[in-house]
Every structure is written in C-alpha cells, then in structure tokens.
Amino acid sequence: MSNEFPGWHGTTIVGVRKGGKVVIAGDGQVSLGNTVIKGSARKVRRLSPGGYDVVAGFAGSTADAFSLLERLESKLEATPGQLQRACVELAKDWRTDKYLQKLEAMLLVTDGDQLYVITGAGDVLEPEHDCTAIGSGGNYALAAARAMMDSDRSAEQIARDSMAIAADICVFTNGNLTVESISK
C-alpha cells in the first residue's frame, strides 16, 4: 500500500476505551495535496447492521473508505454480534481481492467493547493501551491520548483533548470534530 496518495494528508481519527465506553473522534479536514478542500467532513460514522451498533472512523481516500464500510457492514450482517470475525473476514478479502487491494484507506472500528484498526495489509490490530489512532495526525493524537489515560478524564474528554493537540501540531488536521461514543 502506497503512502503517496493525497488522502493520507487530511485526517486524524482517535479511539479511546475507558470507563465502559469507547469514543471515536475524527477531524473534519479534507486536503488535496497542500490545499484544504473541506473543513467539515464526517469521517466517523455509526453503522447498525441488523440492529448491531458499530462505530467506525476512516482515514485515507473517502471513496475507498466508503467501499470498505459497505463491505464491513455486509460482514457484520453475515456474522451478527461478532465484530472481530467480521473484521478478520474484511481484512482477508481486502488483502486477497484484486479490486480491494487497490483501496487506500484504514478503518478504526468498535462495538463498545472491542476496538480494532483494520488495514489493507491484512492487519486487524487491537490496541494494547485502550487507545489507538490512524491518519496523518494519528501519532500525535495517540501519544496525547496515552499520556492522559491514567488521568481522571473520561474517554470522550481524552479523545477531544488528544484531537486538539493533534490539530495544533498536524497541518492536515483541524479542530472540527465528529465524536461518537458507544457502550457495550
């Protein structure tokens, strides 16, 4: 998977699991090269296949991410209540299907209990420290979130504060947030 496409520069998504809740927050900036195209995109979405709630955030090409979200939804319909299995099936398809191999995006997904990052390399990664992040400002948001995990802040406040720090550092990230929370 190439890191050269413009979609990598324009997103930060962070996921935080704390206090029985998982929060996914994403910024709203869409960039094409060094130009901001839009500042209010929604890159965090709630999916409800068959009444099973999942929150997903995406980084990378928007069209590619929507294709992956549709595939994830169909995997969840085929395996109701089994987020891990649906994620593994999506990752296997993504890695082996000639069409899907060309998709350049990443997903961060949760059902309020489990939290995963899904990549086109066939990875389904579960964070070790109850927080994870993707996108161009992901490392900044992740470092900030990890530093706050032992504080009295809630999952939502950690997500919001870590996104604010990423937006201050990464020129491809803004402070216009979409925040979704989910509990198991």
- Residue 12: its H or E element: strand 12-18
pLDDT (tens place) for every residue of the chain, 184 residues total:
444 444 445 689 999 999 999 999 999 998 888 889 999 999 999 998 878 899 999 998 888 888 889 989 999 999 989 999 999 999 988 888 777 777 788 899 999 999 999 988 889 999 999 999 999 999 999 999 999 999 999 999 999 999 999 999 999 999 999 999 999 8
Residue positions annotated with a catalytic role: 11
Domain at 6-183: CATH architecture = 4-Layer Sandwich (3.60)
Q: Are 104 and 60 in contact (CB under 8 A)?
A: yes
Please give the model's pTM, rounded to 2 decimal places.
Answer: 0.91
Inter-CA distances, 86 with 24, 27, 102, 129, 152, Å: 19, 26, 20, 22, 33
Neighbours of 153 (CB within 10 A): 18
Strands 44-47 and 35-38: unpaired
